[in-house]
Amino acid sequence: KTHPKLKDWIQEKLMNKTQAYCTYYKCNIQCKLNDLLSYAETKKHKSNCGSHMQTNKLPFKSSSFKTQEQEATLALYISQHSAIALIDHFSILCKNKFNDGEADIHSQSSRQHHRNEARLIQSRLS
């Protein structure tokens, strides 16, 4: 992993410690240093290596503490004021204020609505 010709593309195989994994060509190679270095010199590896080096390395500057704090504040605001939080608060209200059979109806419908909201959010995120 620390060799300059290997460190950008090699990964350890978790199941088989005698093999390494080429992230560029998505294949397994024997872990002997000589085999890895000879593989690094092959045409197929060099052609894939060239395209990966151009596409994978994007220059990102690290964000400042102020930016991280702003992003965290927005995330907390959104999590407190989202539709899911409203449904959670509504279900607590129903449990506290309706002591008869109506509470079960309201809480069941709010739980169903909560599940539907969660499914909708998951489908939007994926």
Token readout for 81 is 């004021």
pLDDT tens for 32-78 read 777 777 777 777 767 666 655 555 556 777 888 999 999 999 888 88
Token readout for 89 is 């608060």
CA 89 to CA 38: how far, in whole Å? 62
Entry pTM: 0.32
Q: How many whole angstroms from its chain centre is CA 50?
A: 26
DSSP assigned state of 43:
H
How far is the first Cα of the chain from the last one, in angstroms, to the nearest whole number? 33
How do the domains of the chain map onto residue ranges? 10-52, 65-125
Helices (H), the chain: 33-40, 43-56, 65-80, 83-97, 101-125
Rounded to a whole number of angstroms, the CA Rg of the chain reads 26
CA 43 to CA 26: how far, in whole Å? 15
- Stretch (H or E) spanning 27: strand 27-30
pLDDT tens for 21-45 read 777 767 777 777 777 777 777 777 6
